[in-house]
Structures are given as structure tokens and as C-alpha cells.
Structure 1
Amino acid sequence: MDLPFVIATLARRGLLTPGSPLRVAAQLNSLRKWSFTIAGELRQAAARDPHRVALIDEQRGEITYAQLLRRAEQLARSLRSAVGIRAGDRIGVLCRNHNGLVETMVAATLLGADSVLVNTGLSAAQLELVAQEQELRALVHDAEFTERIVRLPASVERIDEGRLEELVQQAPPGQLRHPERDGRTIVLTSGTTGTPKGARRRTPSGFKPLVSIIDRIPLHAREQIMIAAPIFHTWGYAALQVSFALRATIVLQRRFEPAATLRALDEHRCTALFAVPVMLQRLLEVPPPAQRPPLKVVAVSGSALPGGLAPRFMDVYGDVIYNLYGSTEVSWASIATPADLRRAPNTAGTPPFGTRLAILDPAGEPVPAGQVGRIFVGNEMLFEGYTSGLGKESHDGLMATGDLGHLDPDGLLFVDGREDDMIISGGENVFPSEVENLLAELPQVREVAVIGVPDPEYGQRLAAYLALHPNETLDPDAVREYVRHYRARFCVPRDVFFVPFLPRNATGKVVTRDLPRPQQR
């Protein structure tokens, strides 16, 4: 019975509206020939809406779907003739959100090459390892990263923004035939604890993955969408895929800056924003605009929503937050709607269409509602494994997320923390995220992280790191007393640090290894 639901959802979101028979035929033929790769999605959009603005780049301005496809095809021909890129090669992309990143990804797919999306926050040493482990044939990079790539192997062709434009403009004539293999996208894991791993993204086999998202998140054809989440991250890349499928106009900025984001949302009349949770926190720290932006959807993912953030944001910008919980490996697991978040601000929601979710004990058996266990997920977009050849643990067609969580009696999912984050303090299981969410509700606290640290007496204990709002004060004893009032004794952080800000990577996740460690007692 999936087909009627898929058709009904596509119709409800405006994707089955009548159009020119020739353009509709060309659209469907593009998907038949190029499937649902990033190149196929762009081709179908250009076939159906060639003159619609595809991208608005803060530096380059507007570009239509037809123009974007033409530039990507020109770049592909030059990469083949001038750089020697062939099907099966890997092209690294070290770029912020702008046209060049999108054109490179599409061009690689047109050649049957793989795009390796590189985190802009990686160090020179990490970039060197990534280039070696991913066997990069070329690296397209923004000019600002030139000094960071000096250690790359000589075999890696370096292509900066200036040369990228030359390759587009100097493309030889000719046609691009369908490659012998589909180009894939390889997303790197966050690398907060070491060298990032390459995860091979699966190409959708039809409309069901799109329907899984837009059934729960009410995005429509021809939306005005700002993608603030980094496109090199799974969430930003998913936003690009969804936007192309919807034939949306996409607004891009190289860096997230709250005031500039609000201006762009208003100027371009954006109805949807894709972001990571820390961006919502930053938006709340600047004065709200006199007139609320026309946002209907603020879709967030990439890290947990801090306690209380969702209702605070919705009090200012309306009930617009849709929180997707997932990972690079499992894509999505659940989606929380504004109604879910009003009811339970820390919930991850429920599984969308086509997704199975289970909370299992160590023996692989389901646990009852309310009991914490390991989160396993099954859907059509589970990743195809790491480029190293390794995979993730699976059970009965479901893949481990690496997180612990529980379901409430109504089926809402709550993520209690990473499996490797849970600590045992004096024989008690303690979840740092539980204390983190509690402290985030203090009005003085701007952002907070809680982690486990070694303890000679109890094995492990909690340490809390708090960044306060300007002109606010707290003292360690007040923090401990607050936790003691609402939680068990073993949840009270013995170590409380006040820091100016939390160290975060480019996707907004806290880099815990960069937090100061307490002295052993």
C-alpha cells in the first residue's frame, strides 16, 4: 500500500501539478536515465523549471536551474579533459556553502566520480590523512583553505576558486554520456574524537525517501529555502537533495551570522530554513526583527536540541521547528513536529514513513516503554558502509545508531546520550545529557556541556562547562544545588567550569576533547 501514500504525499506537496507535457516528459526521462543522484535531481528540475532561480549566492547572485546545469556540465567536461577525472575517481570538496560546491558535486556525478565532502573545520594533519585514506584524485577548495592543504600528497590536483571558474569557462565542446557507474557522495563523520571516516551515501531508488521527509516536514514545490547547515554535513546535503527535488530556490551564505541570516530570510522571503540547533540559539541572541520572517518550517538536525530551546525559539518565531534525529550512517530515525516539541521539548519525535525503530537490550531484545536501551533504525537510506570496508552493527535489518534512548508510552523517542558517553559513577548509570538539558534551562546559561571524567574513588564523575549570557553570574555551588534539587545525588557535577564559549566543530557539535579537564583528586 506504499504507492497510494507516495502519490498522495507528492500531490499534497505540489509535486504532481500539471505542466507542459514536453517538460514533464523530459523531467521523467532525466530521472529514468540519471536516477535520483544529485545530478539526476538537478536535471529533472532543469527540465521542468529551466528558468526558475535555483541558487541565490551572496557573492554571485542568482542562477537559474538551466544555467546551473550548464555550468556543471561545462565543469565536468573540463575536469575530464584538463584534470583527467574518470568514473570511479574521488574528488574532495573543501568548500563553504556556495555555487562552486554545488557545481563540483554535480560535475563529479556526471562523470561517475565520487564527491568526498570535507569538513571545513579539519586541521592540516587531518586533511592529509583524509586525502590519503580516501585516495583523492583532486581537491576543490575555497581560497581561505590554501594554507591548510600544503601537506596534501603531490598526486592530488589542487583546484581553487579561481581555477574552478577557469575550468567552467574554458570547457571543451562535446557531449557527456552517462558514465559506466553512478557517482556517489561520501560524507565524512564529524571527527570530534579522531580522524573522520568516509561514509558512502546510498542513492535513493525512488520517491519514498523524499516522501519520508516531506510527509512529516511540510515542504512544498517551489519553496524559497535557506540552507544554513553546512552542505558538507549529512543534514546540509540532505537539504540540497530535497530542495532540488522540490525545484526550490535555495539561498546560500558562506558563513552563518545571525543578523545576516535574518536579513536574508526577509529579503528573499524564505519560507523554510535548514539549520543545526546551535544556529537557533544564536538567532535568539540577536534582537528579533520588527516583522517576523515568513518562515513556515525551520528544520534542524545534526545534534541534540538543548533543553528548552525549541519552545523559546517558537515563542519568538512561531511553531515552525521540525527536529530530525539521525546520523550519517542511518540517515534519519525520527522527526519531531512543533506539536511534539511543545509537549516534550527534548523529544526526537516518532519514525516517519518507511522507517522502523527499536530500543534493544544487550541481547538484542526489545525493552519496555520507559526503559533505556540501544537505538536501532531501519530505512531505505542506511549507508553502504565506510570507505575502509567496515560497517555498523546491525540486528534484524536494523542498524545501530550508537545512541541510547527510550520510548515513552505514546511512542515518542527520547535520546539519552551516546553509548560511549554514559558513565558509571559509584555503580550508578549516569547520562550526561540529562544533566546538560537540566542546566540549559537556567536563564543565565547561554550554552552548556556535561561530560564524564575519571574519578579515583567513584570510577567516573560528571564535569559541567557553562558559558553564560553577558552580564550574568552563577557560582559552582548554585549550579550543584540546582542539580541536586531536581536529580539524584550521583547526577550532581563535582566539577563546574565557567568558560567564555564551548569549542564546536563546523557542524555545531561540541568538541569535548578541547574542554579543560579537572585535576585528579
Structure 2
Amino acid sequence: MHRLVALSLGGGDRFVAEMQRAWDAGDAVLPVDQRLPTAAQQSLVERMGASYVVDATGRHRRRGGWPVEPDDALVMATSGSTGEPKGAVLTHDAIAANAMATSSFLEVDPSTDRWLACLPLAHVGGLAVVVRALLTDTPLEMHDGFDAEAVAAAAERGTTLTALVPTALQRIDASALRAILLGGSAMPAERPPNTVATYGLTETFSGVVYEGWPLHGVELRTVDDEVQLRCPMLLRCYRDGTDPRTADGWFATGDAGNVADDGRLSVFGRVDDMITSGAEKVWPVAVERILSQLASVAEVAVVGRPDPEWGQAVTAVVVPAEPASPPSIDEFRDAVKSQLPAYCAPRAIELVEALPKTPLGKTQRWRI
């Protein structure tokens, strides 16, 4: 019988060794985010049905776990950007398909390239780097978290490839690396030419669309403006046994977008994030891209607030760059109306000290 092994470990050689040990035994692995409080870690392990926990003190058997299927490799907790995390069950074939497609796109050469894994291994953005290196026999350096100086030192030692979130990109000299995969949150308006904007989900074991173009084997379509994927990288099911795929293999992402005639994907945001104001549709991400470029804005999220006249009022929730001199509604409306229809312009501003985010920096709009 094949079991689920929870790895409650930081990034490092022991994590990789324990993952390989589990796989050699036919078991699957549940990476546990070390930044979660102890109670939350224990709750995750219980909900996902792990039979063993490996932590700093050793390997521990626990009651109440349930089996995995023979080809299952990973159970990855979803980001929780819309609520309670789910466990995406990914097979060895799925993670290998992602690793090989990415390596082909980047033209990875194990004789000259070197991967750096510095994102949390409990998230696909970090763990996918490790899996790519292992499956392609490419040298790998691992850090237990992001540190700008450590990334610079790794580049001096020969690291050529890594994956980051946009907030981390701002803290390093990107030119020191050959290529940087970016995911996890909205892309900056301007970024270095060696960065690659990726689109993917926990359910696809990280990015499967690079710079809008699907990787090899990835099919895209939209149904009622919702992006759907069909590809060998997709999950088998969720840990509770539910299969979110259609009978013919399509997965509804929950993201709104468009696939152009040439096959390139544009993503507008979560379907549930769309604001309907005066019968007009407003995509928050489009408005946020404009407002985030203003010097008066440190961070911004756009949401719809209930309004008796408009149904929903477009509202900018803002972390001001200078709290003593916050931006004005006129500044915001003028900026948005210069690029989008007037109905997209915010009707109100709410000032906050910080926006709620996931550990990888993705704004949790549902908590605003």
C-alpha cells in the first residue's frame, strides 16, 4: 500500500533526500509550508491524510492517513488565494511533463546551466525548480528562502536559471542570470528582457504558458470567458477524490481571459473578481496595472463595493507611497481614463497600511 509522507522541512538537501526516499518506496509527498503556525501545519497534515511526517526530529508514523495511487508523486496544497487550500494530486508523469516542457522552452543545457531554488518548496514555483533539475540532471543549488545577497553569490558561482516572484525580482541584479521565470502575482509593467512571465496553477505543477504561449502539449480555450487547459501536466484529482476535469480532460482554471486567433493567451484576472458597475464589466487587473505605475502608490488592489446606484462601485484599496500625502481620487480617475473607458475609473479610494497576501505575494482579494 502506498502512503502519503508529509515533509515538514525547510529547503535543503534533506528535503530532496526524503522526497526521493518516499518516491523510491512508491509513496507520495506532501510538502508542508514551514512559515505556517504549528497548529496550521498539523491541520494541513491531518486534512490531507498523511501517514508519515518527516521533520527535524525524524520520521513519525501517524494514524488516520489514507493511501495514494501507485503513480502519485505529490500532494500540493493550493495557494488559498480564494479560501481554504485544497490538495492537488500530481502524478510522476504530470510533473515530468512540466519539467521537460519547461526545459525545452528554456533550452536548458546541463553542461552549462545551473538551477537555483530559492522559493518555498511547499509551493509549485519552488518545488518545480528542484524537480526540473533532478529529472534533467542539471546542477542545482538550494536556499531555504529568498535572500538577495545569496542569489547574487549563487550567480557568481555559476547559477544561470531560477524562478522568482515579482517582488523578489526588484531586489536583485537580474542581468547576472541567463533566465528568470516569474509567476505568482501580477507582472511589473517593465521588466528585464531575460525574465519570462509564466501562467500556471498548482494543478499544473507551475507554469504551462510562457509569455502568453502554451508550452508543448498544452491546449488552451475559453468557455464563457473562462480560461480552460488540457495538458499532460494536469492533476489527477484533488485529495478528497474529486476530479475537476471534464470528461474529455479540460480543466476550468477560474481565471478570465482570451485566446487570440494566433493562440496567445491573455489573462484578465479571476472570474469572481470581475466588477459589474452600471452594467459594464471592469477587470480589476487592468485598472491595477495603471494605478500601480503612479508615484503616489506603493501597492493597490481594485475591488467592487456594493453601491445602490451602480450595483458595484469600482474602489481602489491603496497602500500610499507617502502616507502623509495619499493619492487623490481625481489623480486615479484621470490616470485610468487616459487608457481605459471612463466606467473603469475608481469612484472611491480606501487607504490601508498593507494588502493581505499569500506567502508568495499574491494579493488575497477575497480578504479585502
Instruction: Give your verdict on TM over 0.5.
Output: yes
**Residue 426 in structure 1 maps to residue 278 in structure 2:** yes
* Aligned residue among 185, 196, 199 for 2:74: 185
- 1:322 is matched with 196
* Aligned residue among 455, 463, 487 for 2:307: 455
Structure 1 pair 258/206, CA: closer, same or farther in 2 (3 Å)? closer
Secondary structure (helix, strand or coil) at the match of 1:357 reads: strand
* Aligned residue among 394, 397, 406 for 2:258: 406
- 1:510 is matched with 363
CA shift for structure 1 position 133:
1.9
User: Does the CA contact (< 8 Å) of 1:138 and 1:156 recur in 2?
Assistant: no
Q: For 1:198 and 1:221, how far apart are their aligned partners in 2?
A: 32
Instruction: Read off the aligned partner of 1:203 and give its amino acid letter.
Output: H
CA shift for structure 1 position 207:
6.9
CA shift for structure 1 position 227:
1.4
User: Does the CA contact (< 8 Å) of 2:115 and 2:141 recur in 1?
Assistant: yes
User: Does the CA contact (< 8 Å) of 2:3 and 2:50 recur in 1?
Assistant: yes
Structure 1 pair 385/296, CA: closer, same or farther in 2 (3 Å)? same
CA shift for structure 1 position 224:
1.6
Question: Which string of whole-angstrom CA distances, capped at 9 and with x for unpartnered residues, describes residues 381-412 of structure 1?
Answer: 21101011112242743221111101345432
- 1:482 is matched with 335
- 2:181 is matched with 299
Secondary structure (helix, strand or coil) at the match of 2:299 reads: strand
Comparing 464-473 with 248-257, greater Cα deviation is found at 464-473
Secondary structure (helix, strand or coil) at the match of 2:41 reads: helix
Structure 1 pair 470/260, CA: closer, same or farther in 2 (3 Å)? farther
CA shift for structure 1 position 154:
7.3
- 1:115 is matched with 29
Could you tell me which runs of 5 or more consecutive residues in structure 1 were left unpaired when the two chains were aligned. 1-86, 144-152, 158-179, 337-348, 362-372, 516-521
User: Does the CA contact (< 8 Å) of 2:71 and 2:91 recur in 1?
Assistant: no
Secondary structure (helix, strand or coil) at the match of 1:136 reads: coil
**Residue 259 in structure 1 maps to residue 149 in structure 2:** yes
User: Does the CA contact (< 8 Å) of 2:185 and 2:363 recur in 1?
Assistant: no
CA shift for structure 1 position 272:
0.9
* Aligned residue among 89, 97, 100 for 2:11: 97
Instruction: Read off the aligned partner of 2:284 and give its amino acid letter.
Output: P
Aligned runs of 1:375-394 on 2, under 5 Å? 375-394=227-246
- 1:491 is matched with 344
Could you tell me which runs of 5 or more consecutive residues in structure 2 were left unpaired when the two chains were aligned. none
RMSD: 3.0
CA shift for structure 1 position 116:
0.9
- 1:355 is matched with 218
- Identity among equivalent positions (%) equals 28
Q: For 1:258 and 1:298, how far apart are their aligned partners in 2?
A: 14
Q: For 1:140 and 1:233, how far apart are their aligned partners in 2?
A: 18
Q: For 2:163 and 2:77, how far apart are their aligned partners in 1?
A: 19
Comparing 349-358 with 212-221, greater Cα deviation is found at 212-221
User: Does the CA contact (< 8 Å) of 1:109 and 1:182 recur in 2?
Assistant: no
CA shift for structure 1 position 296:
0.9
- 2:168 is matched with 279
Q: For 2:324 and 2:155, how far apart are their aligned partners in 1?
A: 30
Structure 1 pair 182/390, CA: closer, same or farther in 2 (3 Å)? closer
Secondary structure (helix, strand or coil) at the match of 2:253 reads: strand
Question: Which string of whole-angstrom CA distances, capped at 9 and with x for unpartnered residues, describes residues 157-215 of structure 1?
Answer: 9xxxxxxxxxxxxxxxxxxxxxx944521101012333211110121279754442123
Structure 1 pair 391/459, CA: closer, same or farther in 2 (3 Å)? farther
Q: Greater strand share, 1 or 2?
A: 2
Q: For 1:497 and 1:254, how far apart are their aligned partners in 2?
A: 36
TM-score normalised by structure 2 residue count: 0.86
Q: For 2:95 and 2:186, how far apart are their aligned partners in 1?
A: 29
Aligned runs of 1:355-374 on 2, under 5 Å? 355-361=218-224, 373-374=225-226
User: Does the CA contact (< 8 Å) of 2:53 and 2:62 recur in 1?
Assistant: no
User: Does the CA contact (< 8 Å) of 1:119 and 1:506 recur in 2?
Assistant: no
* Aligned residue among 451, 458, 467 for 2:319: 467
CA shift for structure 1 position 472:
9.6
Q: For 2:149 and 2:307, how far apart are their aligned partners in 1?
A: 43
Question: Which string of whole-angstrom CA distances, capped at 9 and with x for unpartnered residues, describes residues 350-394 of structure 1?
Answer: 112111111223xxxxxxxxxxx1111111121101011112242
List 4+ stretches of structure 1 deviating above 6 A. Answer: none
Secondary structure (helix, strand or coil) at the match of 1:184 reads: strand
User: Does the CA contact (< 8 Å) of 2:8 and 2:54 recur in 1?
Assistant: yes
Instruction: Read off the aligned partner of 1:199 and give its amino acid letter.
Output: A
CA shift for structure 1 position 226:
1.1
**Residue 215 in structure 1 maps to residue 104 in structure 2:** yes
Q: For 2:83 and 2:282, how far apart are their aligned partners in 1?
A: 24
Aligned runs of 1:65-144 on 2, under 5 Å? 87-141=1-55
Q: For 2:152 and 2:351, how far apart are their aligned partners in 1?
A: 30
Q: Greater helix share, 1 or 2?
A: 1
Q: For 2:149 and 2:315, how far apart are their aligned partners in 1?
A: 33
- 1:57 is matched with none
Q: For 1:230 and 1:186, how far apart are their aligned partners in 2?
A: 15
Question: Which string of whole-angstrom CA distances, capped at 9 and with x for unpartnered residues, describes residues 485-512 of structure 1?
Answer: 3222332223323444433222221233
CA shift for structure 1 position 246:
2.6
Secondary structure (helix, strand or coil) at the match of 1:433 reads: helix
Q: For 1:322 and 1:250, how far apart are their aligned partners in 2?
A: 20
Q: For 1:389 and 1:274, how far apart are their aligned partners in 2?
A: 31
Q: For 1:113 and 1:210, how far apart are their aligned partners in 2?
A: 20
Comparing 414-423 with 105-114, greater Cα deviation is found at 105-114
Instruction: Read off the aligned partner of 1:483 and give its amino acid letter.
Output: V
Q: For 2:339 and 2:24, how far apart are their aligned partners in 1?
A: 56
Q: For 1:156 and 1:279, how far apart are their aligned partners in 2?
A: 39
CA shift for structure 1 position 123:
4.3
User: Does the CA contact (< 8 Å) of 2:166 and 2:187 recur in 1?
Assistant: yes
Instruction: Look at both structures and tell me which one has the larger radius of gyration over its CA atoms.
Output: 1
Instruction: Read off the aligned partner of 1:358 and give its amino acid letter.
Output: R
Structure 1 pair 129/118, CA: closer, same or farther in 2 (3 Å)? same
